[in-house]
């Protein structure tokens, strides 16, 4: 999969259109610019990945070097795009945030600027997965 992903990313740099069919939505999110979501032969949507993901809430897992202190926790909780935050272990937080990649980037920058030593920052699943699940659940036919 890594080799195929790398080949597709290299081909994207040329003036070639690539049609990819996959159920692996994290792979789709990583290599595709535009996405068509089809359910039982019906085209539910076709748009850029950026447009489809806009406005979706994203769930992130953040692991820190040391436990987040109560004041640091409150700073993270108060960040503009954060809709919820909970501590699952001493060094792990689960955040829900609204917005796309730009908001995620700003969030990480603000957390680092607050003095929290982040070890990992990982989406729990692809944002496109939320879009897919929403669209398919709307069309229960």
pLDDT in single tens digits along all 141 residues of the chain: 889 888 988 888 888 888 888 888 878 888 888 999 998 899 999 998 878 877 677 788 999 999 999 999 999 999 888 999 999 877 999 998 887 777 888 889 999 999 999 999 887 766 777 788 878 887 654
Task: Specify the pLDDT at position 141.
Answer: 46
Task: Specify the pLDDT at position 137.
Answer: 82
* Domain 55-127 coded CATH 1.20.1440.130: no
Start-end of CATH 3.30.70.1560 domains in the chain: 55-127
Query: What tokens were used for 126?
Result: 């692809």
C-alpha distance across the termini of the chain, in Å: 34
The closest of 56, 12, 48, 9 to 37, measured between CA atoms, is 48
Cα-to-chain-centroid distance, residue 133: 14
State whether residue 19 is helix, strand or coil. coil
CB-based contacts of 11: which residues, under 8 Å, 6+ apart?
18
Q: How far apart are CA 141 and CA 139, in angstroms?
A: 6
Which residue spans within the chain are E strands per DSSP? 34-39, 42-48, 57-64, 82-89, 92-98, 118-123
What pLDDT, in 10s, does the model give residues 28-66?
888 888 999 998 899 999 998 878 877 677 788 999 999
Strand partners, 35: 47
The structure tokens 């070639």 sit at 16
Task: Specify the pLDDT at position 68.
Answer: 92
């Amino acid at each position: 999969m890594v080799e195929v992903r790398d080949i597709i990313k290299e081909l994207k740099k040329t003036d070639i259109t690539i049609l990819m069919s996959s159920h692996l939505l994290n792979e789709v999110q990583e290599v595709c610019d535009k996405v068509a979501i089809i359910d039982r032969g019906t085209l539910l949507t076709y748009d850029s990945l950026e447009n489809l993901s806009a406005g979706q809430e994203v769930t992130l897992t953040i692991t820190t070097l040391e436990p987040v202190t109560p004041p640091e926790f409150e700073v993270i909780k108060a960040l503009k795009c954060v809709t919820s935050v909970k501590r699952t272990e001493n060094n792990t937080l689960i955040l829900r945030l609204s917005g796309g990649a730009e908001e995620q980037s700003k969030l990480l920058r603000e957390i680092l600027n607050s003095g929290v030593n982040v070890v990992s920052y990982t989406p729990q699943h692809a944002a496109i997965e939320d879009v897919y699940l929403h669209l398919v659940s709307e069309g229960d036919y």
